[in-house]
């Protein structure tokens, strides 16, 4: 993998775990549910799974010749929302109705 691609992959892998925890805390709080230690720990664990799984997918994409790529890193990252979403669902946090 070339240096710019490696830099991008590392940055994504480093950011994902914190993003998952922050997303869970933010959405739960907006829904009127104070995140407890169990929810935060579940978010941390999900963030690590997300880092491994999504990170591997991003790396695989970036290792593919650009002319052979059928998607892009942002498309892969959009799929990462399933991790915080699952934590919120498991904790019984109601679905968000709108965005602010």
**Per residue in 2-48, pLDDT tens?**
888 899 999 999 999 999 999 999 999 999 999 999 999 999 999 99
E strands, the chain, in order: none
The answer for 69, left when phi > 0, alpha when psi is -120 to 50, beta otherwise, is beta
Model pLDDT, residue 100: 53
Model pLDDT, residue 98: 60
**Per residue in 50-71, pLDDT tens?**
999 999 999 999 999 888 989 9
- Structure tokens, 22: 């922050």
Residue 96 has pLDDT above 80, yes or no: no
């Amino acid at each position: 993998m070339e240096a710019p691609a490696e830099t991008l992959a590392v940055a994504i892998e480093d950011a994902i775990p914190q993003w998952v925890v922050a997303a869970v805390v933010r959405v739960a709080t907006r829904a009127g549910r104070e995140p407890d230690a169990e929810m935060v720990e579940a978010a941390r664990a999900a963030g690590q799974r997300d880092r491994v799984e999504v990170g591997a997918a991003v790396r695989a994409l970036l290792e593919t010749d650009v002319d052979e790529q059928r998607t892009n890193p942002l498309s892969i990252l959009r799929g990462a929302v399933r991790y915080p979403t699952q934590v919120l669902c498991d904790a019984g946090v109601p679905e968000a109705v709108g965005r602010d």
